[in-house]
Amino acid sequence: MSRPVLEPSLLPLEDARAFAALVDSHPFFDPSREIVIARAPGRLDVMGGIADYSGSLVLQWPLREATLVAVQATGDDSFEVSSLASECGGSAERVFQASIRDLFPDGTPLAYEAAQSWFAEHPESRWAGYVLGALIVLAREKSLQVSTGLRILIRSDVPEGKGVSSSAALEVSTMQALSALLHLGLDPREVALLSQIVENRIVGAACGVMDQMTASCGGEGELLSLLCQPAELRDPLALPEGLEFFGLDSGVRHSVSGSDYTSVRVAAFMGARILEQEIPRLGERRVHRYLVSITPSEFDAVAPRVLPEVLRGGDFLDKYGQTSDTVTRPDPDRDYAVRAATAHPVHEHFRVRTFARLLHGAPSEEVCDLLGELMYQSHASYSACGLGSDATDSLVEMVREAGPSHGFFGAKITGGGSGGTVAVLARKGASIDRIADEFALRSGRRPRIFTGSSPGAAAFGWLRQGPVERP
Q: Give the separation between CA 371 and CA 360, rounded to whole angstroms.
A: 12
Active site residues: 211
Question: β-strands 408-413, 57-73: how paired?
Answer: unpaired
Smallest CA-to-CA distance from 197 within 158, 280, 153, 140 is with 140
Burial of 73 (0-12, 13-18, 19+ CB in 10 A): middle
Q: Give the separation between CA 39 and CA 94, rounded to whole angstroms.
A: 19
Non-local CB neighbours of 400 within 8 Å, separated by 6+ positions:
376, 408, 411
Question: β-strands 243-249, 421-427: how paired?
Answer: antiparallel
User: What 3-state class would DSSP assign to 274?
Assistant: helix
Cα dihedral sign for 214, 215, 218, 219? positive
Smallest CA-to-CA distance from 97 within 108, 83, 111, 87 is with 83
Q: What is the DSSP letter of 126?
A: G
Residue by residue, DSSP assigns 305-374 as HH--SSEEHHHHHHHH---S-SS----TT-EE-HHHHHHHHHHHHHHHHHHHHHTSS---HHHHHHHHHH
Q: 246 has which bridge partners? A: 424
Q: Compute the residue count for the chain.
A: 471
Q: What is the DSSP letter of 453?
A: -
